[in-house]
Amino acid sequence: MIVDKAIYADGMRTDIDGDISDAFDAARAQGDCFVWIGLFEPDTDEFELVKDELKLHPLAAEDAVSAHQRPKLERYDDTLFVVLKTLFYVDATSDIEVGEIMLFVGRDFVVTVRHGAGNPLGPVRKRLEATPEMLDHGPAAVLYAVCDEVVDRYGIVAHEVERDIIDLERAVFDPQADDVTEDIYRLKREVLEFRSAEDPLVPVMQEISRGRVTECHGVQEYFRDVLDHLLRVDTQVDAHNELLNSVLNAHLALLGQRQNDDMRKISAWAAIVAVPTAIAGIYGMNFDHMWELHTAYGYPVALAVMVAICVVLWLILRRNRWL
């Protein structure tokens, strides 16, 4: 569906009455302006009008409707097609939801297509409308503002992931905590999904910030700032992945140590119990020629011997930290 549509001239917004065709007709009649059309999860029929009006490449139009693309920048004739992965951190489940924003950037138009509930573009549009000097740069300013918003969200998500890792570290070294192996693997999967969203975007921002995209020459320095933030996030994600590997190795080592401790305790108690069992087993054979069977103190002496040996074994095992 169409979320918003407007014409921008001299940094000022003009609302559009009517359909998309009316918007482009009005922009062409006005001249020296551009149209920004915002769509949310359009279907094929809804996007067909935009494609026909702007003569978008069929492959790019198909990508915009179906989504599930990797971050990239492609050129189709005079139109730039940019794909960004959006990230949204869900506090309740500590999951990272992934969406997409696709931008068609031409000389006098911008079409943004958003998939997923995260990263709405309404606040981005309002911030741009509050800075007419930025809007004077045309469609490239919209591309910059959207990229800046997406990368800023990456930083927020990276901070939340770092908090989750700290919580996992505490759980790993807490002897009373439950097994968190599954939690570590789940968070590691989220981090890898994070990386698949932000890492391919790095060469895209490098391409723009180095001046290889002529449409963005007026805002090139702004894209350098976005690239700097993105590289910082990229470093954080790599560090998070390595830290999770270390946490997992430490957790598995501690699990193995705890299992060894449990086995040693079981073995120690088995050794202690074996002493009275062996003695009782010998006496249970009921031989006729066992002199202590015919003494008045044979039974208490046997019990005392059992207890004494068990106590000595317990002390030895305790000193050796088997118990």
- % of the chain exceeding 70 in pLDDT: 91
Angle between helices 298-319 and 220-283 in degrees, nearest 10? 160
Cα distances from 73 to residues 151, 173, 207, 291, in angstroms, run 16, 45, 9, 97
Q: Label residue 253 by pLDDT band (50, 70, 90).
A: confident
CA dist 199 to 77, 121, 205, 216, 237, Å?
A: 27, 22, 11, 21, 9
pLDDT band at 85 (very low <50, low <70, confident <90, very high): very high
Residue (of 279, 284, 271, 257) closest to 316 by Cα position: 271
pLDDT at 9 over 80: yes
Q: What is the pLDDT of residue 234?
A: 95
CA–CA distance, 191 with 132 (Å, rounded to integer): 38
Q: Which helix (H) or strand (E) holds 262?
A: helix 220-283
Tokens representing 248 are 């997992």
Instruction: State if pTM tops 0.85.
Output: no
* Tens of pLDDT, residues 93-132: 888 999 999 999 998 899 999 998 777 899 999 999 999 9
The distance of Cα 314 from the centroid of its chain, to the nearest Å, equals 50
Q: How far is CA 242 from CA 27, 192, 238, 292, in A?
A: 51, 11, 6, 68
Pairing of strands 2-9, 72-76: unpaired
- Nearest residue to 218 (alpha-carbon basis) of 124, 144, 308: 144
- Whole-number Å distance between alpha carbons of 134 and 128: 7
The pLDDT of residue 289 is above 70? no
Please say if the pLDDT value at position 323 is more than 70. no
Indicate if the pLDDT at residue 172 is higher than 90: no
Hey, what are 95's tokens?
């999951």
Phi-psi category of 321—alpha, beta or left, where left has phi over 0 and alpha has psi -120 to 50?
left
- Please give the residue that has the higher pLDDT: either 22 or 89: 89
pLDDT above 70: residue 174: yes
CB 92 within 8 A of CB 42: no
pLDDT for position 15: 84
Supply the Cα-derived Rg of the chain in whole angstroms.
Answer: 35
Q: What is the pLDDT of residue 300?
A: 77
Residues β-bridged to residue 114: 40, 101
What is the average pLDDT score of the chain?
86
Q: Which residues pair with 73 in a beta bridge?
A: 82
Give whole-number Cα distances, 280 to 111, 173, 219, 307, in Å.
Answer: 89, 44, 91, 12
Length of the chain: 323
Q: Please check the confidence at residue 21 and state whether its pLDDT lies above 80.
A: no
